[in-house]
A and B are shown apart, each in its own frame.
Chain A
Amino acid sequence: MFQSLGKYILLLRLSFKKPEKFSVYWGEVMREMVSVGIGSLGIISIISLFIGAATTIQVAFQLSSPLVPRSIAGSISRDSNILEFSPTISSLVLAGRVGSNFASNIGTMRVTEQIDALEIMGVNAPGYLISPKILASITMIPLLVIISICLGITGGYIACLITGTITPADYLMGVNDGFDGLTVRVALVKAFVFGFIIASICSYQGFYTKGGALEVGQSATAGVVYSCVWILFADLMITSLML
């Protein structure tokens, strides 16, 4: 375990060495940003809308007491979306979509000697392959989380319109009531950290792939599993430190 941790830290250090040519690396960063950001927008939108809707209905069901104002369901749904569902669930999904792509992409390059070809040319392979992925993830995943929060709250509103569990007016009143900006800051810190975890761990797994196609698949699986575990651990740490 300590050997793996040491290799991981050394790989990260190599990833952030001075690039051979900034313009070439910048192009890679832009390409990865499109892949991570635009490529994940569809799945994040669908998940956020449905989770937002389901959360609102469930909270309204659990608080169906004449002593509790109906608008409270909007407040709870909003905070749940901002603090937990949007950053954490989205990141777990992104670990599957983006992380497995990173690991299999780099793993395939390793087993087909493309990484050796980079090194022969004198290119710092970790820098060229991993740093653009990390930079793209730590910038695009927070943006995706902001979109996810908006769509989650919208999903709750749509659920109110369709099911009538609570009135849309009550829901909107709850969403606006007692909003604390700290929750958004916590969500963005989580998204930044989760983005780093996904990109670095999956790239690490891909970079040290040995063997052939079977091992590339195993690296992608390992990358996703380790990323998910570390996301949940980091979620707990950030929540306990910031709230």
Chain B
Amino acid sequence: MIEIKDIYKTFGDNDVLKGITATFQTGKNNLIIGGSGSGKTTLLKCIVGLHEPTKGQVFFEDQNFTDMDFTERVPIRTQIGMLFQNSALFDSMTVEENIMFPLNLFTNQSKSEKQERANFCLERVNLKDKNKLYPAELSGGMKKRVGIARALSMQPKFLFVDEPNSGLDPKTSILIDDLIQELTTEYDMTTVVVTHDMNSVMGIGDHIIFLHQGQKWWEGSNKEIAHTDNKELNDFVFASKFMQAAKEKL
């Protein structure tokens, strides 16, 4: 479980996050949604420690992550897997080396054990036999799956995903969403996904937080979102005619 308490983040005179409090439950897909510039990615970066919150605290299973220094955070960080918007694979390494990288640094496994783990992770994301390819040789969807495989390599308790569907076709997007959902249930992880993709919201949103102008505007599940009377959320989710028609049918 991850708890965030009263998170504020300011860049110069720009207040990006204004007192966000939330709890992300284990075994669920927790979605952070909102329009561009609403502070979704900033919130995600504050949670994982890439940004330090101006005010507020983040707890990973009751451990105060915000007050820890870099070294104290390492044990928690080895339990975190993250898929970045552009996958952030290391260009100079092969797919296998990318997945083995955290194992090389933080475990004492033999080379064959690490290769076995890398193969297992690749098989889990349906990318068998792609071990020796470089990231530049992969499609966008494959890169995302390798990113997920790398995130899984250390058997994380917490999975963070930033815009998993950006730049992907609808079919691949659904594949990635399904994969995230399966893995969350299978490994009982606390998964936090930042997205503005409505298919993801409706498909895997066990718990959704809607951010608007840096504040938590709404909280609920994908089942509740269709029946909300929150104007800003309705404007965001049902912006397209297709979604409006879908809502009327509901």
Q: Enumerate chain A interface residues (CB-CB to B < 8 A).
A: 20-21, 24, 108-109, 112-114, 116-117, 119-124
Q: How far is the CA of A124 from the CA of B74 in the complex (A)?
A: 10
Contact (Cβ within 8 A) A112 B86: yes
A119-B50, A122-B77 as given contacts; A113 in contact with B102, CB under 8 Å? no
With a 10 A CB-CB cut-off, give which of A116, A122, A123 has the most chain B CB atoms.
A122
Q: How far is the CA of A95 from the CA of B85 in the complex (A)?
A: 33
Known: A112-B88, A120-B77. 4 other contacts (CB 8 A): A114-B88, A114-B91, A117-B84, A119-B50
Chain A contact surface mostly = helix
Contact (Cβ within 8 A) B78 A120: no
Contact (Cβ within 8 A) B77 A114: no
Cβ-closest chain B residue relative to A108: B91
Q: How far is the CA of A123 from the CA of B88 in the complex (A)?
A: 15
Contact (Cβ within 8 A) A116 B88: yes
Tell me the count of chain B residues lying within 8 A, CB to CB, of chain A: 26
Cβ-closest chain A residue relative to B75: A122
Tell me, rounded to whole Å, the shortest Cβ–Cβ distance linking A68 to chain B: 55
Contact (Cβ within 8 A) A21 B88: no
Q: Check: B73 CB closer than 8 A to any chain A CB.
A: yes
B101 CB contacts on chain A under 8 angstroms: 121
Q: Check: B80 CB closer than 8 A to any chain A CB.
A: yes
Contact (Cβ within 8 A) A124 B70: yes
Q: Check: B48 CB closer than 8 A to any chain A CB.
A: yes
Cβ-closest chain B residue relative to A21: B105
Q: Contacting A122 at CB < 8 Å: which of B50, B74, B86?
A: B74
What's the A-B contact tally at a CB cutoff of 8 Å?
A: 54
Q: How far is the CA of A37 from the CA of B167 in the complex (A)?
A: 40
Tell me, rounded to whole Å, the shortest Cβ–Cβ distance linking A113 to chain B: 4
Q: Check: B187 CB closer than 8 A to any chain A CB.
A: no
Contact (Cβ within 8 A) B86 A121: no
B90 CB contacts on chain A under 8 angstroms: 109, 114, 117
A120-B77, A122-B73, A122-B74 as given contacts; A113 in contact with B86, CB under 8 Å? yes
A112 CB contacts on chain B under 8 angstroms: 86, 88, 91
Q: Check: B106 CB closer than 8 A to any chain A CB.
A: yes
Q: Check: B82 CB closer than 8 A to any chain A CB.
A: yes
B160 CB contacts on chain A under 8 angstroms: 120
Contact (Cβ within 8 A) B50 A21: no
A119 CB contacts on chain B under 8 angstroms: 49-50
A114-B91, A120-B50, A124-B70 as given contacts; A24 in contact with B104, CB under 8 Å? yes
A114-B91, A116-B50, A124-B70 as given contacts; A24 in contact with B105, CB under 8 Å? yes
List 6 A–B pairs whose Cβ atoms lie within 8 Å, in order of A's numbering. A21-B104, A113-B84, A114-B89, A120-B50, A121-B78, A121-B106
Q: How far is the CA of A124 from the CA of B77 in the complex (A)?
A: 12
Contact (Cβ within 8 A) A113 B88: yes
Tell me, rounded to whole Å, the shortest Cβ–Cβ distance linking A178 to chain B: 49
Q: How far is the CA of A21 from the CA of B102 in the complex (A)?
A: 11
Closest 3 CB pairs of A and B: A122-B77, A113-B88, A122-B74
A24-B105, A112-B86, A113-B86 as given contacts; A120 in contact with B70, CB under 8 Å? no
Q: Contacting A121 at CB < 8 Å: which of B85, B91, B102?
A: B102
How does the 8 Å CB contact mask read for B101-123 relative to A, with 1 for contact and 0 for none?
11011100000000000000000
Tell me, rounded to whole Å, the shortest Cβ–Cβ distance linking A158 to chain B: 39
A112-B88, A113-B84, A113-B86 as given contacts; A122 in contact with B78, CB under 8 Å? yes
Contact (Cβ within 8 A) B84 A121: no
Q: How far is the CA of A24 from the CA of B106 in the complex (A)?
A: 10
Tell me, rounded to whole Å, the shortest Cβ–Cβ distance linking B203 to chain A: 25
B154 CB contacts on chain A under 8 angstroms: 121
How does the 8 Å CB contact mask read for B37-71 relative to A, with 1 for contact and 0 for none?
00000000100111000000000000000000010
With a 10 A CB-CB cut-off, give which of A20, A113, A119, A120 has the most chain B CB atoms.
A120
How does the 8 Å CB contact mask read for B176-203 relative to A, with 1 for contact and 0 for none?
0000000000000000000000000000
With a 10 A CB-CB cut-off, give which of B77, B82, B88 has the most chain A CB atoms.
B88
A21 CB contacts on chain B under 8 angstroms: 104-106
Contact (Cβ within 8 A) B82 A120: yes
A109 CB contacts on chain B under 8 angstroms: 90
Contact (Cβ within 8 A) B106 A122: yes
B89 CB contacts on chain A under 8 angstroms: 114
Cβ-closest chain B residue relative to A120: B82
Q: Contacting A120 at CB < 8 Å: which of B75, B80, B86, B91?
A: B80
Q: How far is the CA of A117 from the CA of B83 in the complex (A)?
A: 9
Q: How far is the CA of A121 from the CA of B79 in the complex (A)?
A: 8
